[in-house]
């Protein structure tokens, strides 16, 4: 064995320790990740585009190169397997040490010493009424925002207020990046993603202005160490609703609409759900419809289905029991956190 193999196996042991021990994962999230994310993101900060895709392609080419070499030189199966396992080991170690170990830390509620609120139809109806009033109230506005100022404001929000919940502050050199293959992300409906290898946040360049503030805040929540999609939605929503800019607030309220509608459809009687839907203004409905049609025109069905399956598998493999449905847990999180006097 090489010395690098020994180092890799020791790091892999730490990764496994995080997976099977929440205290070890908490140590990583609170002590290691802030340093690691700062260091990894500093390296690619000098370029405006994402380097995450290059890392992924590099690993894929390494696997292919080992296979081709084994065939051409007629190497034995065990030799090929050993080289492939070495590459796989470093892929896993880099993914989890760079960001992925955050999946295994203690959940937010136990860390905060609070319990999730149980469903109460009256309380849920009050939430819907308050939410809809705020949604309708910000739908008709002519406010605008600057992307650089918006990013700086979101980073300040996370660094000053969200660090108290066990997450890392965001650095001045950590800026949102441009994907190298943006057309692919539009084809599968991905608005943004967190790069685990170099701690880069990426946003789809096709994002409409109405979705941009919420999506940016969502992806920067991941950069701060949030792994749950429901929780990333929660922090993005909290940022947007406390903003002084009505356009930013509207982005947050509008982004919450599909999750509120899904919850209302599954929890309320049909007539009550229909009555609530009637309270949503025509302007909101038109905006929501136009955004849906905008992305639908860019999607490629087969690729979109494959991507959703892969995303679901990734989340479930890393302890997110709801898989891709985890996004929809944001409503319960908002009601729980608000009931307990949190942000």
| 335 pLDDT above the threshold of 80 | yes
Instruction: With 0.85 as the threshold, say if the pTM is over it.
Output: yes
Q: List, for residues 187-200, the tens digit of each pLDDT value.
A: 998 999 999 999 99
Give me the pLDDT at residue 87, please.
97
- pLDDT (average), residues 8-24: 97
The confidence band for 321, taking pLDDT boundaries of 50, 70 and 90, is confident
Give me the pLDDT at residue 227, please.
97
Give me the pLDDT at residue 304, please.
83
Give me the pLDDT at residue 140, please.
85
| 308 pLDDT above the threshold of 90 | no
Q: List, for residues 210-251, the tens digit of each pLDDT value.
A: 999 999 999 999 999 999 999 999 999 999 999 999 999 999
Give me the pLDDT at residue 343, please.
87
- Reading the block at residue 202, the tokens are 């990426």
The domains of the chain are located at 3-104, 114-339
Q: List, for residues 79-103, the tens digit of each pLDDT value.
A: 999 999 999 999 999 999 999 999 9
Percent of the residues in the chain that have a pLDDT greater than 70, as a whole number: 100
Q: List, for residues 203-212, the tens digit of each pLDDT value.
A: 999 999 999 9
């Amino acid at each position: 064995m090489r010395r690098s193999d020994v180092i890799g196996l020791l790091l892999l042991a730490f990764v496994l320790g995080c997976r099977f021990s929440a205290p070890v994962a908490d140590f990583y999230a609170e002590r290691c990740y802030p340093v690691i994310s700062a260091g990894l993101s500093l390296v690619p900060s000098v370029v405006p585009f994402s380097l995450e895709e290059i890392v992924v392609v590099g690993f894929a080419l390494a696997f292919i190169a080992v296979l081709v070499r084994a065939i051409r030189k007629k190497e034995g199966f065990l030799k090929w397997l050993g080289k492939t396992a070495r590459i796989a080991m470093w892929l896993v170690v880099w993914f989890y040490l760079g960001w992925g170990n955050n999946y295994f830390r203690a959940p937010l509620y136990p860390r905060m010493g609070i319990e999730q609120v149980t469903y109460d139809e009256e309380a849920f109806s009050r939430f819907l009424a308050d939410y809809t009033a705020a949604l309708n109230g910000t739908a008709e506005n002519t406010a605008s925002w600057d992307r650089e100022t918006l990013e700086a404001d979101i980073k300040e929000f996370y660094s000053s207020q969200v660090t108290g919940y066990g997450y890392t502050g965001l650095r001045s050199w950590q800026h949102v990046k441009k994907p190298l293959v943006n057309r692919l992300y539009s084809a599968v409906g991905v608005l943004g993603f967190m790069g685990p290898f170099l701690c880069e946040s990426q946003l789809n360049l096709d994002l409409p202005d109405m979705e941009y503030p919420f999506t940016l805040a969502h992806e920067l929540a991941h950069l701060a160490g949030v792994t749950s999609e429901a929780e990333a939605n929660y922090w993005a929503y909290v940022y947007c609703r406390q903003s002084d800019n009505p356009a930013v607030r509207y982005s947050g309220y509008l982004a919450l609409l599909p999750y509120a509608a899904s919850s209302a459809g599954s929890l309320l009687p049909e007539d009550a759900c229909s009555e609530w839907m009637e309270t949503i203004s025509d302007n909101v409905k038109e905006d929501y419809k136009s955004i849906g049609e905008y992305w639908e025109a860019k999607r490629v069905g087969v690729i979109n289905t494959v991507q959703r399956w892969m995303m679901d598998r990734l989340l479930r493999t890393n302890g997110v029991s709801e898989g891709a449905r985890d996004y929809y847990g944001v409503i319960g999180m908002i009601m729980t956190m608000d009931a307990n006097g949190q942000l």
